[in-house]
Chains A and B, each alone.
Chain A
Amino acid sequence: MSAFDALLLARLQFAFTIAFHIVLPAFSIGLASYLMVLQLLWLCTGRQVYIDLFRYWLKPFATVFAMGVVSGLVMSYEFGLNWGRFSDKTGPVIGPLMGYEVLTAFFLESGFLGVMLFGMGRVGRGLHFAATCLVAVGTLTSAFWILAANSWMQTPQGTSLTPDGRFVPADWAAIIFNPSFFYRLPHMVLASYLSVACLVGAVGAWHLRRAPADGHARTMFSMAMWMTALVAPLQIAVGDLHGLNSLRYQPAKIAAAEGHYQTRAGAPLVLFGVPDDARERTDYAVEIPRLGSLVLTHAWNGTVPGLRQWPPADRPPALPVFVAFRIMVGLGLLMAALGLAGLVMRRGGRLYRSRALRNAAILMAPAGFVALLAGWVVTEVGRQPWTVYGLLRTADSVSPVGAPGVGASLAAFVLVYALVFGTGLSFVFRLLRRPVQPAAASPQE
Chain B
Amino acid sequence: MDLDLPLIWAGLIAFAVLAYVVLDGFDLGVGILFAAERGDAARDVMVNTVAPVWDGNETWLVLGGGGLFATFPLAYSVVLPALYPVIIAMLLALVFRGVAFEFRFRAESRAGREAWDLAILAGSTLAAFCQGLALGGMVQGIKVADRQYAGGWWDWLTGFSLLCGCAVVIGYALLGACWLVWRTEGGLQRRCRRYAGTLGAATLGLIVVVSLWTPMLNPAFAARWFGWPGILLASPVPLLLVVLARLFWRGLARRRDRAPFLCALGWFVLGYAGLGISLYPLIVPPSITIRQAAAPDESLLFLLVGAVVLLPVVLAYTGYAYWVFRGKVRAGEHYH
Are B99's CB and A91's CB within 8 A?
Answer: no
Are A119's CB and B91's CB within 8 A?
Answer: no
Are A80's CB and B80's CB within 8 A?
Answer: yes
Complex interface bits, A265-279 against B, C-beta within 8 A gives 1, otherwise 0: 000000000000000
The complex places the Cα of A94 from the Cα of B59 at a distance, in Å, of 18
| B253 adjacent to chain A (CB < 8 Å) | no
B41-73 interface with A by 8 A CB criterion = 51-53, 55-56, 58-59, 61-63, 65-71, 73
Instruction: Output the least CB separation between A406 and chain B (Å).
Output: 8
Instruction: Output the least CB separation between A25 and chain B (Å).
Output: 13
User: For residue A405, which residues in chain B have a CB less than 8 angstroms away from its CB?
Assistant: 84-85, 153
Residue in contact with B95 in the complex, picked from A70, A90, A408, CB distance below 8 Å: A70
| In the complex with contacts A76-B66, A98-B69, A91-B103 CB distance below 8 A | no
Most buried by B among A107, A118, A413: A107
| A66 adjacent to chain B (CB < 8 Å) | yes
User: For residue A119, which residues in chain B have a CB less than 8 angstroms away from its CB?
Assistant: 52, 324-325
Are B99's CB and A95's CB within 8 A?
Answer: no
| A111 adjacent to chain B (CB < 8 Å) | yes
User: For residue B78, which residues in chain A have a CB less than 8 angstroms away from its CB?
Assistant: 84, 88
Are B81's CB and A399's CB within 8 A?
Answer: yes
Are B65's CB and A92's CB within 8 A?
Answer: no
User: For residue A255, which residues in chain B have a CB less than 8 angstroms away from its CB?
Assistant: none
User: For residue A62, which residues in chain B have a CB less than 8 angstroms away from its CB?
Assistant: 102
Stretch at the interface among B165-173, B189-197, B237-245, B302-310: B302-310
Q: Is the interface of B mostly helix, strand, loop or mixed?
A: helix
Are B69's CB and A84's CB within 8 A?
Answer: no
Are B92's CB and A84's CB within 8 A?
Answer: no
Complex interface bits, A398-410 against B, C-beta within 8 A gives 1, otherwise 0: 0111100100110
| B225 adjacent to chain A (CB < 8 Å) | no
User: For residue B59, which residues in chain A have a CB less than 8 angstroms away from its CB?
Assistant: 102, 106-107, 110
The complex places the Cα of A86 from the Cα of B98 at a distance, in Å, of 29
Are B66's CB and A170's CB within 8 A?
Answer: no
Instruction: Output the least CB separation between A61 and chain B (Å).
Output: 11
Residue in contact with B77 in the complex, picked from A84, A99, A408, CB distance below 8 Å: A84
B293-313 interface with A by 8 A CB criterion = 295-296, 298-299, 302-303, 306-307, 310-311
Are A95's CB and B62's CB within 8 A?
Answer: no
| B284 adjacent to chain A (CB < 8 Å) | no
Are A169's CB and B298's CB within 8 A?
Answer: yes
Instruction: Output the least CB separation between A16 and chain B (Å).
Output: 13
The complex places the Cα of A66 from the Cα of B94 at a distance, in Å, of 11
B192-251 interface with A by 8 A CB criterion = none
Are A168's CB and B92's CB within 8 A?
Answer: no
Give 21 A-B contacts (CB < 8 Å), ordered by A residue: A69-B55, A73-B61, A80-B68, A80-B77, A81-B88, A88-B78, A92-B295, A95-B67, A96-B303, A102-B66, A103-B307, A107-B63, A110-B55, A111-B56, A117-B52, A119-B52, A399-B148, A400-B148, A412-B88, A412-B92, A420-B95
Interface residues of B (CB under 8 A from A): 51-53, 55-56, 58-59, 61-63, 65-71, 73-74, 76-81, 84-85, 87-88, 91-92, 94-96, 98-99, 101-103, 106, 108, 147-150, 153, 295-296, 298-299, 302-303, 306-307, 310-311, 314, 317-318, 320-321, 324-325, 334-335
In the complex, besides A99-B306, A103-B314, A107-B310, 4 extra interface pairs with C-beta distance below 8 angstroms are A76-B62, A80-B76, A87-B69, A106-B59
